[in-house]
A and B are shown apart, each in its own frame.
Chain A
Amino acid sequence: MDNVRRPQPLLQVEGLHASVDGKEILRGIDLTVNAGEVHAIMGPNGSGKSTLAQVLAGRESFSVTAGGARFLGHDLLSLAPEERAREGLVLGFQYPVEIPGVSNVYLLKAAVNAVRRHRGLAELDAMEFLKLIREKMQLVEMPDELLYRSVNEGFSGGEKKRNEILQMALLEPRLAILDETDSGLDIDALQVVAEGINALRGPGRAIVLVTHYQRLLGYVQPDFVHVLAHGRIVKSGGKELALELERRGYGWLEEAPAAPAREAEARAR
C-alpha cells in the first residue's frame, strides 16, 4: 500500500455537494477508488447513497453545487451519462427501469455495440452477440426467456437484479457501481449475484457496492467500507467495519460529531 508511486486513481471525488429542488443531499463527499479495489458504501435509509451513485453516473436531475469528481483523470461531471458508460463507469440500478415493448436482448445489444463503437471495436452482429450473451448468462443463471421479454417488465425483483449484473458482465466497466444489487434476493440468488460480482473483479477494475447487508460482503470481500450519513462519509474502515455495523447499528456513528473520517486514515491502517 505504501508504494513510492501510486497509479492514477480510477475515481477521485472531492468535496462533492449535490442537491435536488434546492434541497442539499450530498454535503461534501470525499472518496478515492483505485483500480483493483472493492469499496462498500453503507448507511441508513435516506442518507444519500443512491444519490451519490446517480450523481456519479450522470443523472441530470441532481445538481452538483460544489466539489468535483475525476474519472481516469478526466472531469467526470462534464460527461453525459452515455459518455460515462462508454468510458467505463456503469451503474447497476437499485430500481431497474421497465421499458415496455423493447426486448431485453435489443437493449443489451444496442448497449454493447454503443460501447464497442466508442472503443473502436467492430459492432457485433446478431449471431456474435447471441454467442456472447449465452456465455454471460450462464454466469448469472438467467433463463433465456428473459432475453425476449420487455426490459424489466414483469421481472421479479431477483430477475431484475440478475439482469443488472448481466449488463455489467456484458459491458465490462472499469468502475461498476452496484446500488443494492443484493436487496430482495433469495439466499441462492444472492450467491449467484455475488459470484457474478466476483467475476467482475480484476486488477484493472473497481467495484463500489452500495449495500445494507453484511451477508453480501461475506461473499464479496471489500477492501474498504464507508458509512454515509446525512450526505457525508462519517466513517471509513476495512471489511471488519461492516461486521461492527451489523452488531451496533448506525446510532453510535450518527450521534458522533460529523468529523469526516478521511479515507486516508483507513488506508493508513
Chain B
Amino acid sequence: MAQPATKLDELVGREYPHGFVTEVETDTVPRGLDEDVIRLISRKKDEPAFMLEWRLAAFRAWQKMAEPHWAHLRIAPIDYQDIIYYSAPKQRGEGPKSLDEVDPELLKTYEKLGVPLHERERLAGVAVDAVFDSVSVGTTFQAKLAEMGIVFGSFSEAVRKHPELVRRYLGSVVPYTDNFFAALNAAVFTDGSFCYIPPGVRCPMELSTYFRINAKETGQFERTLIIADEGAYVSYLEGCTAPMRDENQLHAAVVELVAHERAHIKYSTVQNWYPGDREGKGGIYNFVTKRGDCRGANSRISWTQVETGSAITWKYPSVLLRGDNAVGEFYSVALTNNWQQADTGTKMIHIGRNTRSTIVSKGISAGHGQNTYRGLSKVLKGAEGARSHSECDSLLLGDTSGAHTFPYIEVRNPTATVEHEASTSRIGEDQLFYCRQRGISPEDAVSMIVNGFCKDVLKELPMEFAVEAQKLLGVSLEGSVG
C-alpha cells in the first residue's frame, strides 16, 4: 500500500530557465589584470583622464588588500589573473545611436528574458537600461526623461556627457578603499547605470536596469550611481540573469545612492543570477557593495531585495543616516536552495538626530542551502533620539538546510532605542498537508506558504515586480521540502 510520496525535495530540480547563451561576436581583452589592462579598458571607453587616474589608484589599493574570508561561506579560491575583465558585443563603428541600431541578437536575448527593449508599450511606465556583459546595450525612454532634467542611461554615457556629476559623486559613498571587491570594481568596472534626478522632480516612471552576464570566464563589474537632489523621488529596479556554465563566474558590483535633503530613493532588486546546478557545480559568485547615503535632512533610502540566484551571495545594502530625521529601510528575502549560500543583511549607521531605521529580513533555506543574516545597527554619539528596529525570520525547508542570524548592535547614545527580533521556523508538513487536502498541488502549496512568509517584504516591491518575484520564489523552490 505504498503511497506516492510527493516529498517536498522531489519538487525542486527544475531547470534554471534563463540558462541559454547568446551567440554574438565579442570584443574581449586578454585575461588577467595589470595596469595595462586597466589603461586598455579606459581607452576603449574613451574616458577622461580623471577616470583613469581613479581606476589606477583603486588598482594600487586593491593590490595591497587581502581577500575577505567568511565563516559561513564555502568557497572555491578565485584566481583573479584567470578572469577576463572586459567583454562587449562587437559593434560596427560608433555604437548604436538608438535602439533600432542595436544588434537584433541582443534584442532577442532580452525578449527571451521577458525584457523586451523594443516593444516599449509592453513596458509602459518603466524605463529600462540593459547591460550585457560589460556594456550597456540600450536605454529606453531616455528622451522623455531628459525633458524633465532626469539623466538616466549607461555609466559610460554619463562619463562622456556629464563628467562633472560623475566626478562629484563617484566613490563618495563607497570609496575604492572600502573593501577588496569595491576596490577591484573601481579599477575595472566597465559599465552600469547612472541616474540623476534634479531638485523637486518626482521621476514619473520606474527606472530599471537589466543585467545579463553572457560571455564565458568573464567577470561582470558594473557600477550604479543614483543621485536624488533636494526633494526628488525615484524608484529604481535591477534584475539579473546569467547562462548556465560549469565554472563559477565572478560578479562584483558597486551601487552608490545619494539622497539630498527630503529626497527619497527606493531601490529594488530581483537577483536571479545562475545559482549552479543541483550538485553545486557552477553558478555566480555575487559579491556586491551597495550603500546609500542619506546626506540631507529628512531624506529616505529604502532597499528592497529578493535574492534567489547565485551560488554565493555576499551583500549588505547599507544606509548612512547622516541628515537629521533621515530614514533607512531594508526589506530582504533571500532564498537558498540546493548548494546555494547567502550571507546578506544590512548596516544602518545612525549619525544624525532622530534618524530611524527598519530592517525586515526573511531567509528561506531549502536543500543544502545555507542562509546567513548579518546586520549591524550602529548609533553614533550625536544620533540623539535614533530608533532602529529589526526583524529577522528564517524558514527552513527540509532538514539539510541551515539558517544563521548575526545581529550586531552598537549604541553610543543613551537616548537611542534599538530593537531586534528573530525567529526560525520549519515549513510544516502539517501546513502542506492542509493545503493539499484542499486540492492544491504541493508546488503551489509550497509557493503559497513561502510567499506568505515573505509578504511583508514583497509588499514593498513595485506592483509589477512583486508579481515577478512571487513567481520566481515558486520556481526557485520547486522540489524542495522534505
**Which of A's residues lie within 8 Å of B, judged by CB?**
57-61, 63-68, 77-78, 80-82, 84-86, 90-91, 93, 96-102, 106-107, 110-111, 114-115, 118, 150, 167, 171
**Which of B's residues lie within 8 Å of A, judged by CB?**
1, 3-6, 428-431, 433-442, 444, 448-449, 451-456
Provide the bound-state CA to CA distance between A4 and B114, in Å: 64
B454 and A85 contacting across the interface, CB-CB below 8 Å: no
13 more A-B residue pairs beyond the given contacts A85-B436, A100-B453, with a C-beta to C-beta distance below 8 A: A77-B3, A97-B434, A99-B434, A101-B456, A102-B449, A107-B435, A107-B448, A110-B440, A110-B444, A111-B435, A114-B444, A118-B439, A150-B452
A65 and B437 contacting across the interface, CB-CB below 8 Å: no
In the complex, chain A residues whose CB is within 8 Å of the CB of B455: 101-102
In the complex, chain A residues whose CB is within 8 Å of the CB of B454: 101
Q: Which of B431, B437, B452, B456 contacts A58 (CB 8 A)?
A: B437
29 interchain pairs (CB within 8 A)? A60-B429, A60-B433, A67-B1, A77-B3, A78-B4, A80-B3, A80-B4, A80-B6, A80-B442, A81-B433, A81-B437, A82-B438, A84-B437, A85-B438, A91-B437, A97-B433, A99-B431, A99-B449, A100-B452, A100-B453, A101-B456, A102-B448, A102-B455, A110-B440, A111-B438, A111-B440, A114-B444, A115-B439, A171-B439
B434 and A167 contacting across the interface, CB-CB below 8 Å: no
A77 and B1 contacting across the interface, CB-CB below 8 Å: yes
In the complex, chain B residues whose CB is within 8 Å of the CB of A114: 438-441, 444
Nearest-CB residue, chain A, relative to B434 = A97
In the complex, chain B residues whose CB is within 8 Å of the CB of A84: 437
Provide the bound-state CA to CA distance between A201 and B456, in Å: 41
In the complex, chain A residues whose CB is within 8 Å of the CB of B440: 82, 107, 110-111, 114
Most buried by B among A60, A68, A96, A111: A60
In the complex, chain A residues whose CB is within 8 Å of the CB of B453: 100-101
Provide the bound-state CA to CA distance between A90 and B436, in Å: 10
- Give, as a whole number of angstroms, the nearest-CB distance from B119 to chain A: 27
Nearest-CB residue, chain A, relative to B395 = A100
Most buried by A among B431, B435, B438, B456: B438
B452 and A82 contacting across the interface, CB-CB below 8 Å: no
In the complex, chain A residues whose CB is within 8 Å of the CB of B431: 97-99
- Given the known interface contacts A82-B436, A82-B441, A85-B436, the answer about A65 and B1 at a Cβ–Cβ threshold of 8 Å is yes
In the complex, chain A residues whose CB is within 8 Å of the CB of B428: 97
Nearest-CB residue, chain B, relative to A83 = B439
Interface of B is mostly: helix
Q: Which of A61, A85, A102 contacts B437 (CB 8 A)?
A: A85
Provide the bound-state CA to CA distance between A85 and B442, in Å: 13
Provide the bound-state CA to CA distance between A57 and B451, in Å: 25
A110 and B437 contacting across the interface, CB-CB below 8 Å: no
- Give, as a whole number of angstroms, the nearest-CB distance from A14 to chain B: 12
- Give, as a whole number of angstroms, the nearest-CB distance from A33 to chain B: 18
Q: Which of B5, B438, B441 contacts A90 (CB 8 A)?
A: B438
In the complex, chain B residues whose CB is within 8 Å of the CB of A93: 434, 437
In the complex, chain B residues whose CB is within 8 Å of the CB of A102: 448-449, 451-452, 455
- Give, as a whole number of angstroms, the nearest-CB distance from A72 to chain B: 16
A106 and B439 contacting across the interface, CB-CB below 8 Å: no
Nearest-CB residue, chain B, relative to A65 = B1
- Given the known interface contacts A85-B436, A111-B438, A114-B441, the answer about A64 and B452 at a Cβ–Cβ threshold of 8 Å is no
B4 and A99 contacting across the interface, CB-CB below 8 Å: no
- Give, as a whole number of angstroms, the nearest-CB distance from A96 to chain B: 7
Nearest-CB residue, chain A, relative to B444 = A110
In the complex, chain A residues whose CB is within 8 Å of the CB of B3: 58, 60, 64, 77-78, 80
B1 and A64 contacting across the interface, CB-CB below 8 Å: yes
Nearest-CB residue, chain A, relative to B450 = A101
- Given the known interface contacts A61-B429, A65-B1, A78-B4, the answer about A90 and B437 at a Cβ–Cβ threshold of 8 Å is yes
In the complex, chain A residues whose CB is within 8 Å of the CB of B430: 97
In the complex, chain B residues whose CB is within 8 Å of the CB of A96: 434
- Give, as a whole number of angstroms, the nearest-CB distance from B8 to chain A: 11
In the complex, chain A residues whose CB is within 8 Å of the CB of B439: 82, 85-86, 111, 114-115, 118, 171
Provide the bound-state CA to CA distance between A107 and B438, in Å: 9
- Give, as a whole number of angstroms, the nearest-CB distance from A70 to chain B: 12
Provide the bound-state CA to CA distance between A107 and B444, in Å: 10
Nearest-CB residue, chain A, relative to B438 = A111
Nearest-CB residue, chain B, relative to A85 = B439
- Give, as a whole number of angstroms, the nearest-CB distance from A51 to chain B: 14
Provide the bound-state CA to CA distance between A89 and B300, in Å: 53
Most buried by B among A64, A77, A80, A167: A80
In the complex, chain A residues whose CB is within 8 Å of the CB of B452: 99-102, 150
Provide the bound-state CA to CA distance between A78 and B2, in Å: 7
B448 and A110 contacting across the interface, CB-CB below 8 Å: yes
Provide the bound-state CA to CA distance between A86 and B3, in Å: 17
In the complex, chain B residues whose CB is within 8 Å of the CB of A65: 1
Nearest-CB residue, chain A, relative to B430 = A97
Provide the bound-state CA to CA distance between A100 and B435, in Å: 13
User: 6 closest A-B pairs (Cβ-Cβ)?
Assistant: A101-B452, A102-B452, A111-B438, A114-B439, A101-B455, A97-B434
Provide the bound-state CA to CA distance between A96 and B438, in Å: 12
Most buried by B among A59, A65, A100: A100
- Give, as a whole number of angstroms, the nearest-CB distance from A112 to chain B: 8
Provide the bound-state CA to CA distance between A81 and B442, in Å: 9
Provide the bound-state CA to CA distance between A100 and B425, in Å: 11
- Give, as a whole number of angstroms, the nearest-CB distance from B153 to chain A: 38
A57 and B1 contacting across the interface, CB-CB below 8 Å: no
Provide the bound-state CA to CA distance between A106 and B447, in Å: 13
Nearest-CB residue, chain B, relative to A61 = B429
- Give, as a whole number of angstroms, the nearest-CB distance from A91 to chain B: 5
Provide the bound-state CA to CA distance between A106 and B438, in Å: 12
Nearest-CB residue, chain B, relative to A66 = B1
Nearest-CB residue, chain B, relative to A170 = B438
In the complex, chain B residues whose CB is within 8 Å of the CB of A100: 452-453
- Give, as a whole number of angstroms, the nearest-CB distance from B479 to chain A: 15
In the complex, chain B residues whose CB is within 8 Å of the CB of A110: 435, 438, 440, 444, 448
In the complex, chain A residues whose CB is within 8 Å of the CB of B429: 60-61
Most buried by A among B5, B436, B448: B436
